[in-house]
Amino acid sequence: MQNQVLDWLKAAFAVARIKKYEATFDCPYCGHSAFYFNYKKRVGYCHRASCGRKPTLKDIIDLKGYGPSDYYNSAFSEDAQAVVTPAALELPGIDLLEDRGRGRDEWAIQALGYRGVTLEHISKWKIKATNLRIYVPIIQEYKLVQYLGRVVDRSKNPKDGFNSLVQPKYKYAEGASISNFIFGWDHTTRKWPYVVLVENTFNAIAWRDKFNCTTNFGSNLSKVQIELLYKSEIRRVVFAWDGDAYQKAYDASFKLKEYGIQSSILSYSQSNQPDQVKPALLKTAIETAINGPQTYGPLQVRINENELPNR
């Protein structure tokens, strides 16, 4: 069983090294590089003082959405990222716009509205909710293949309701790694000449039509996701990941370069997330990143947030 757990860790995380039953990879909670998981004792530990989490194997299985048994009982090829879809996957929750005698879910609608997600978006993407989470379906070839459930705190007002202490913050369906998918990956997306990648799914929904924006669900670009991009008509990727993921974006850009795909990376002088930047500054930076020249490495676009936007 130890070998099965180790094989699963290698498939589910970017394991940097293995020594004496310990696998080292980025903390799945805070992203710190000094996270150690003892696959013999089945417990991990993050060495970042502000995090210090000690998750069990069950904890990180719940976080990823699939575990070692899924890995071995599924039709996995040598590519450990192979897609395995549950036979009867159903999206939890109730449609936000559905009136079941109590009216629409106004709290969730308002909470999403503060993040730029409109009623039209909610209807288009068929977003649902429970008392604890807001669920976004992930559709591929007209089928539900995964979902993302973002925890919320309804005891707070809608503007602050996404700031919940409940962990894990995100929940996925069992059976298929979220890193196998790109949000909204359809025939239209595959014909885009460029794509802007963000970490946050709700930003991806709000900015999709403005910037050709979507998400790869975090700050790690998997082999499967790279191959999806390669098989499309996209020839430039703009990384608008969070500021603390700059090095990951830089490393991912060289992987894309091997497939003939150019990259640009946004960085921020003050903010840590793209949705914290003034909209006009963000728009200008993305336009610069899109229209940049071909370079050996990634085109780096720095957003000086002390500047006053021209428009």
Q: pTM surpassing 0.75? A: no
Q: What is the pLDDT of residue 208?
A: 96
Burial class of 89 by CB neighbour count within 10 A (0 to 12, 13 to 18, 19+): middle
In the predicted model, is pLDDT for residue 116 greater than 90?
Answer: yes
Q: What is the pLDDT of residue 224?
A: 93
pLDDT digits (tens, 9 = 90+) for 37-46: 999 899 999 9
The CATH architecture to which 189-303 belongs is 3-Layer(aba) Sandwich (3.40)
What is the CB neighbour count within 10 angstroms for residue 36?
17
Q: What is the pLDDT of residue 171?
A: 87
Of these ranges, 22-36, 100-114, 276-290, the one predicted with the greatest mean pLDDT is 276-290
Q: What is the pLDDT of residue 230?
A: 95
What is the edge-to-edge ordering of all strands in the sheet holding 43-46?
17-19, 22-25, 35-38, 43-46
Residue reference for tokens 């998918």: 181
2-64 and 189-303: identical CATH topology: no
Do 35 and 25 form a contact (C-beta atoms < 8 A)?
A: yes
Nearest 5 degrees, angle CA 48-CA 52-CA 56? 130
CATH topology assigned to domain 2-64: DNA Primase; Chain A (3.90.580)
Every domain of the chain and the residues it spans: 2-64, 94-175, 189-303
Do 194 and 209 form a contact (C-beta atoms < 8 A)?
A: no
Beta bridge partners, 23, equal 18, 37
- The DSSP-derived string for 34-66 is -EEEETTTTEEEE--TTT----BHHHHHHHHT-
pLDDT digits (tens, 9 = 90+) for 174-230: 777 899 999 999 989 999 999 999 999 999 999 999 999 999 999 999 999 999 999
pLDDT digits (tens, 9 = 90+) for 132-187: 999 999 998 778 989 999 999 999 999 999 888 777 888 888 777 899 999 999 98
